[in-house]
Amino acid sequence: MSSTQDPSPIPAPVRAVLELFSGPLAEVSFPDVDRESLAASAAEVESRREVLQSALEAVARAREALEAGQASLIEQAQKAHAYASVFASSDADLQSALAEIKFDGRALAPKRRRGRPRKAKAASNAGSAKAQSQTSLAVADSDAA
């Protein structure tokens, strides 16, 4: 993060008083207030601003490091989850526990079943596909007319 010059932490009226005590009032002294004490206080405020700026830059670097570490951990956990899913292929309890784990706020896709679909399921899917194609043809025929 580049260090950009922030506006002065010293308010404009205070800067105006500092200028007066650096110019026409340079030799004037009041109890606990003179040019040197005002300049020292202004320097202390500027020093604290620099400390704050450094701390904010350190916080930004720490945040970036934290986010990189979190991303690495998430990637590693996803890989571990994938390996565990393969390992758990014969353990229904472990499979269900792994299926409940969510990454990025959504559940991982359930494991696809392998092999041919059951006859009843295949027949119902074929029936809905046939109805869909008939509807599409009917719409296409009415558009052509």
State pLDDT tens for residues 101-121: 988 754 445 555 667 777 776
Find the mean pLDDT for residues 12-32. 94
* Crossing angle between the packed helical segments 35-87 and 12-22, to the nearest 10 degrees: 140
User: Does residue 82 form part of some domain?
Assistant: yes
> Tens digit of pLDDT for each residue in 35-53?
999 999 999 999 999 999 9
Higher-confidence residue of 126 and 42: namely 42
Same domain, residue pair 135 and 108: no
Find the mean pLDDT for residues 124-139. 53
- Domain ranges, residue 27: 12-112
Higher-confidence residue of 2 and 73: namely 73
Same domain, residue pair 69 and 35: yes
Taking the CB of residue 21, how many other CB atoms lie within 10 A of it? 22
Give percent above pLDDT 90 in the chain: 54
- Please report the beta strands in 17-137, taking only residues with DSSP state E, as ranges in sequence order: 29-30, 33-34, 102-103, 106-107
**Tokens 């009415």 appear where?**
142
Same domain, residue pair 77 and 127: no
